[in-house]
Amino acid sequence: MAEPLVDFIAAHQRLLVLTGAGCSTASGIPDYRDQAGAWKRPPPMTYQTFTGDPAARQRYWARSLVGWQRFGSAAPNAVHRALAELQGQGRVQCLVTQNVDGLHDAAGSTGVIDLHGRLDAITCLGCGRRGRRELFQQHLVAENPGWAQLPAGIAPDGDADLDAVDFSAFKVPDCAHCGGMLKPDVVFFGESVPRARVEAVQAHLDAADAVLVVGSSLMVWSGFRFVRAAAQAGLPIAIVNQGTTRADSLVTLKCAEDCSQALAFLLG
> Hey, is 253 helix, strand or coil?
strand
Q: Per the annotation, does 215 bind a ligand?
A: yes
> How many structural domains is the chain composed of?
1
Task: Provide CB contacts within 8 A for 152, sequence distance 6+.
Answer: 63, 66, 67, 160, 161, 162
Q: CA–CA separation, 40 vs 249, rounded Å?
A: 24
The CATH number assigned to the domain holding 17 equals: 3.40.50.1220
Q: Per the annotation, does 99 bind a ligand?
A: yes
pLDDT tens for 111-134 read 999 999 999 999 999 999 999 999
- Phi, psi at residue 161, to the nearest 5°? -85, 110
pLDDT at 31: 77
Residue 266 identity: L
pLDDT tens for 225-244 read 999 999 999 999 999 999 99
Instruction: Average the pLDDT over 136-148 and give the result.
Output: 95
pLDDT tens for 249-260 read 999 999 999 999
**253 - beta bridge partners?**
238
Q: Which domain range does residue 168 map to?
A: 3-267
Residue 261 identity: Q
E strands in 182-228: 182-186, 210-214
pLDDT tens for 182-213 read 999 999 998 999 999 999 999 999 999 999 99
| Percent of the chain with pLDDT strictly greater than 90 | 82
Q: Per the annotation, does 111 bind a ligand?
A: no
Q: CA–CA separation, 132 vs 137, rounded Å?
A: 9
What separation in angstroms does the CA of 66 have from each of 23, 48, 61? 23, 23, 9
pLDDT at 160: 80
Helix, strand, coil abundance in the chain, percent, nearest 5: 40, 20, 40
Instruction: Average the pLDDT over 168-175 and give the result.
Output: 96
Active site residues: 116
Instruction: Average the pLDDT over 48-69 and give the result.
Output: 94
Q: Per the annotation, does 175 bind a ligand?
A: yes
Pairing verdict, β 130-132 and 210-214: unpaired
Total Cβ atoms within 10 A of residue 152: 19
